[in-house]
Structure 1
Amino acid sequence: MSDWDQFGADYDFPDFDGQPNTYVIASTPRSGSHYFGHLLRKTGALGSPLEYFHPGHVETWKQKLGVSTLEGLIACLFRRRTSPNGWFGAKAHWSQFEPLLQNERAFQAINFSRYIHIIRRDRLAQAISLVVARQTASWISFHAVRRTPEYDFGAIQTALSEIDAQSDQWEGFFSSRRIDPMIVEYEALLADPEEAVTGVLAYVGHHGPATGAASSPEPQRQSSGINVEWKERYLADLNSTAC
């Protein structure tokens, strides 16, 4: 979908003044966080939790909004991406969250008060999805597939290691800060999206009706027969290399 624009007005709310309540979807690549963020946005009560702190997105936002600092960018995002009830959300993989954490002024400015940790129990399926996305350059369903993916045992092993490392870093952060995040499982999210969203609304203390946000494109699940085939092939290859 070439006309999708995460920087455009589709994800804006009426201008918000003041300091919002904030939350982050703490994620790892291919954990369903983008899909989940769109579901939360549809409530109209949880902001527009997109990937604001991806390095490339930060620079695009700065240019678009005419700001030079991360703190200035956060203030502008608060104004346009906070829902009327005062909630602003973002999603971030650890590799995007860590630089924000190291920028003390910016981290204090955003002041996350809630953490939602989305996890995927089937790490192998997650790693395969990551390899497919890297090869095709289609990270979400809005992106065109640029080339046909090719099975790569080593790339899947590398992806597994990367996902495990990021998961460990999130766990270490939560433990060191004594944070008890809300856990959302990818598999449960797919089985019952409404229950997951209702749980988040309760977690942030929103007890009124979810009014709904203006319509915007919705991402679709990208898994295909290739993912299933690669999983079977990987397990067979792994078994053949075992002592």
Structure 2
Amino acid sequence: MNAQANTMFSGYIICGTPRTGSTLLCDLLKSTNVAGNPKSFFRRQSISRWVEQWGLPDAQTLGETDFKNAYLKAVIKAGKAGTDVFGLRLMRENLDELSAFLDQIFPLLPSDKMRLEAAFGHPLYIHLTREDKLAQAISLIKAEQTGLWHIAPDGTEIERVGTPKHPEYDFERIHRERTDLERYDAAWISGFDDQKIKPLHIAYETLAVEPAETLARICDALGVSSPSADTIKPGVAKLSDEISADWMRRYSSDIEKMTEPTFPEAQNSAICASQ
């Protein structure tokens, strides 16, 4: 057994929202060969794919509770990937579903934290956030519209969903996504506070420019060796471009117009000021 895994943490849960650099971070952690292989094992759209990949009988064959136990066991094995450290990526929109999933295995536990720790031991909670929520919303919408989610540093497409489409600026959609992302991130923060969790905070803005230093912080917290900085080669690149910058300018302009007083209001203000 790796002596360095003798730590207070059994693993980690990356607590994020879409387009915060979680794919980059997951790849970096996997590349250490000592920190598991974090994936979105409880993303509802992906569970059937994992079941097929692992060769698990389905819920109809096993029954609901036995299936969930078997799935959890397989998740832990996959998340460790032959190491002593378990890794999981969890988006806030999937937390309630995961909590309900675990409640069938560990009933009567009163909190998300207790259910997560019953399943995964004592994990390090990594709060992965993005300070610029407007840029995050634009990145998400562009990926949804174009189907292109990730590219390699050389520009090679890594993940594309659907046929290529040209992105179209949509103020209302951007505003809605920005609001939702702010709400999801606030929900993580309030959940940590309510359940007395002290997460390790990682900002996308730091991760993107200091991947080696960010990885070292996490490995140090976990008690495992971090690879030397010169061996760390991020496998994904930023997708932001001139379209992203243009959308940010247009959104800021549209927001400013919305906050400007209408002509009658401005006229009334001028009249009152002259009296």
1:22–1:190 CA distance, 2 compared to 1 (3 A): same
Give the aligned partner of residue 5 of structure 1. Answer: none
Q: Is the 8 A contact 1:71 1:109 kept in 2?
A: no
Q: State the alpha-carbon separation in 1 of the partners of residues 240 and 69 from structure 2.
A: 37
**Counterpart check, 1:241 vs 2:230:** no
Q: If the length of structure 2 is used for normalisation, what is the TM-score?
A: 0.73
How far apart are 1:193 and its partner, in Å?
0.6
* Greater displacement, 181-190 / 64-73: 64-73
After superposition, give the CA deviation of every residue in 1:199-241 in whole Å (9 maximum; x if it has no partner): 00011122x4649xxxxx9332221211111101110111112
Q: Is the 8 A contact 1:74 1:110 kept in 2?
A: no
Equivalent residue of 1:37, what SS? Answer: helix
Query: Aligned runs of 1:81-230 on 2, under 5 Å?
Result: 81-102=79-100, 103-104=102-103, 105=105, 107=116, 108-141=118-151, 142-144=158-160, 146-206=164-224, 208=225, 210=227, 218-230=235-247
Q: Is the 8 A contact 2:39 2:79 kept in 1?
A: no
After superposition, give the CA deviation of every residue in 1:144-188 in whole Å (9 maximum; x if it has no partner): 362111000000000011101111111121112100000001111
Equivalent residue of 1:90, what SS? Answer: strand
Structure 2 unpaired stretches of 5+: 1-8, 60-66, 107-115, 152-157, 229-233, 261-275
Structure 1 unpaired stretches of 5+: 1-19, 212-216
Q: Is the 8 A contact 1:45 1:210 kept in 2?
A: no
* Greater displacement, 221-230 / 98-107: 98-107
The size of the alignment, in residue pairs, is 219
Q: State the alpha-carbon separation in 2 of the partners of residues 239 and 230 from structure 1.
A: 14
Q: State the alpha-carbon separation in 2 of the partners of residues 116 and 62 from structure 1.
A: 26
How far apart are 1:119 and its partner, in Å?
0.9
- Which of structures 1 and 2 has the bigger CA Rg? 2
Q: Is the 8 A contact 1:189 1:196 kept in 2?
A: yes
After superposition, give the CA deviation of every residue in 1:59-84 in whole Å (9 maximum; x if it has no partner): 21123321432331221132244144
How far apart are 1:43 and its partner, in Å?
0.9
Identical residues among aligned pairs (%):
26
Higher normalized helix content (fraction of residues)? 2
Q: State the alpha-carbon separation in 2 of the partners of residues 112 and 227 from structure 1.
A: 40
How far apart are 1:55 and its partner, in Å?
0.5
Q: Is the 8 A contact 1:44 1:210 kept in 2?
A: no
How far apart are 1:189 and its partner, in Å?
0.8
Decide which of 32, 35, 38 is 2:24's aligned counterpart: 35
Equivalent residue of 1:117, what SS? Answer: strand
